[in-house]
Amino acid sequence: MNKNKRDREFYSVDVGDSTFTVLKRYRNLRPIGSGAQGIVCSAYDQILERNVAIKKLSRPFQNQTHAKRAYRELVLMKCVNHKNIIGLLNVFTPQKSLEDFQDVYLVMELMDANLCQVIQMELDHERLSYLLYQMLCGIKHLHGAGIIHRDLKPSNIVVKSDCTLKILDFGLARTAATGLLMTPYVVTRYYRAPEVILGMGYQANDIDQWNKVIEQLGTPSQDFLMKLNHSVRTYVENRPRYAGYSFEKLFPDVLFPADSDHNKLKASQARDLLSKMLVIDASKRISVDEALQHPYINVWYDPAEVEAPPPKIPDRTLDERDHTVEEWKELIYKEVIEWEERTKNGVIRGQPTALAQVQQ
Ligand code: AMP
């Protein structure tokens, strides 16, 4: 495509501290959130005639951590297709060449709120269990493709007012986990699993989090300690000893709707599920498959949602890759251009779509 034609396709608009340069089909941009990678806007897509979310990744190749995350997200989002994982509608860059390449825009389905907002609300058991069921379906689908999230938290989970739920991103690459600690972006670690905390070294925040875990659940048993490597074991052994609290104390009835016999039963099922999930030793923790069969969850079980065939990931080395900034720039640029080419030819995820045919 010639340079002038491409220029004419885009326009710029200021959102917060950032400028979004987007295809003209996207109108009415409004900021709706921000995360480690940048700002997210809602917009109206004049071609699809629906609202969408647009995330701007600013210079995603600027360092190893950003680059790995952006590349992983692009590659994985292209192949994962499940109702509980956010779907990618479009990818573009306003820059015209690899030399000029700066920013990537990801266009996604728009949801209404993230889970940080929803957990402030009083939810009944029907909604609570349905939200959990959908998270488990999404996680099972990712696990089926060999993707382990490692960073699931309320800001990474979005919902609609009809209670449908989608997981927003693909979490931490295995080898990016420690790198992330060196960036100022990672704020919330309270949702990380104990083994992820222990695997990350002992910076002040992690120690604080490990202490919080053992204060509530109690110091783990000797057989757990024996599974740790020497330096982690020494660290864990030198923490103060805690007896922990019972799950009745940690999650009393007042935290749940328990105003009728039905709700009392549901509250005790919810507490039972929590007691099986919040287990320090991962080998003794309930698995995703088992959780889907738990009485609190299995009322929603639908084989079409739970057992959807896992996506095929073309690049198995995703987590291990290390590149220079210039190489990352080229790899990410190629992914964006490949998407643009693919949609230009009327094919998305291997299928012709109306969306692809109308894209300029
Ligand atoms: P992220 O940068 O992907 O972590 O997103 C940051 C925040 O933007 C999230 O916590 C959500 O509040 C919001 N957000 C991101 N993507 C969407 C979306 N597709 N629909 C609605 N809100 C979103």
**Model confidence over 273-300: pLDDT tens digits?**
999 999 999 999 999 999 999 999 999 9
Alpha-carbon span 176 to 172, nearest angstrom: 6
Among 27-41, 199-213, 298-312, where is mean pLDDT lowest?
Answer: 199-213
**Annotated catalytic, 151?**
yes
Pocket test for ligand 1, best of 40, 109, 112 (most atoms within 8 A of CB): 40
Q: Alpha helix (H) ranges present in 278-358?
A: 288-293, 303-306, 325-344, 354-358
- The pLDDT of residue 170 is 80
Task: Report the distance separating Cα 146 and Cα 296, nearest Å.
Answer: 26
Residue 18 has phi, psi (to 5 degrees) of: -115, 160
Report the C-alpha gap between 96 and 81 in whole angstroms: 29
- What confidence tier does 16 reach under pLDDT thresholds 50, 70, 90? confident
Q: What is the pLDDT of residue 162?
A: 96
Q: Quick one: 353 exposed, middle or buried, by C-beta within 10 A (0-12, 13-18, 19+)? A: middle
The CATH homologous superfamily to which domain 10-110+312-329 belongs is: Phosphorylase Kinase; domain 1 (3.30.200.20)
Both tokens of 281, joined, read 């030793």
Domain spanning 113-307, CATH class: mainly alpha
Q: Which helix (H) or strand (E) holds 32?
A: strand 26-35
CA of 40 to the centre of ligand 1 (A): 6
**How much is the pLDDT for 37?**
81
- Work out the percent of the chain whose per-residue pLDDT is above 70: 87
**Quick one: which atom of ligand 1 is closest to the CA of 38?**
2
Widest CA span in the chain: 69
Q: How far is the CA of 240 from the centre of ligand 1 (A)?
A: 39
pLDDT, one tens digit per residue, over 115-131 is 999 999 989 999 999 99
Ligand 1 probe mutation, 151, 158, 185, most atoms within 8 A of CB: 158
Q: Which of 45, 103, 151, 206 is catalytic?
A: 151
- What's the CA-to-centroid distance between 39 and ligand 1, angstroms? 8
Taking alpha carbons only, the member of 24, 31, 20 closest to residue 10 is: 24
Task: Give pTM, 2 decimals.
Answer: 0.89
Residue to mutate (ligand 1; options 45, 52, 55; most atoms within 8 A of CB): 55
Q: Which of 145, 78, 6, 9 is nearest to 334 (CA)?
A: 78
Atom of ligand 1 nearest to the CA of 117: 12
Contact predicate 28/110, CB 8 Å: no
Closest ligand 1 atom number to CA of residue 110: 20
Write out residues with Cβ below 6 Å of ligand 1.
Answer: 32-35, 37, 40, 53, 55, 86, 108-111, 114, 155-156, 158, 168-169
Distance between Cα 132 and ligand 1 center (Å): 19
Confidence of residue 184 (pLDDT cuts 50, 70, 90): very low
Ligand 1 atom 21, closest CA = 111
Residues of the chain with CATH 3.30.200.20: 10-110+312-329
Check pLDDT > 50 for residue 187. no
Rounded mean pLDDT, 321-343: 90
The pLDDT tens digits of the residues spanning 210-266 come to 999 999 999 999 999 999 988 889 989 999 999 999 999 999 999 999 889 999 999
Which residues does residue 54 pair with via DSSP β-bridges, in sequence order? 41, 107
Find where tokens 């921000």 sit: 34
CATH 1.10.510.10 maps onto the chain at 113-307
Rg of the chain on CA atoms, in Å: 22
Q: Is the pLDDT of residue 180 over 50?
A: no
Q: How far is the CA of 244 from the centre of ligand 1 (A)?
A: 35
- What does the pLDDT average to over 176-199? 60
Alpha helix ranges (H) inside 145-299: 177-181, 194-198, 204-217, 222-225, 230-237, 247-250, 261-277, 288-293
Which residue has the least CA distance to atom 10 on ligand 1?
155
Out of 174-178, 299-303, 340-344, pick the least confident.
174-178
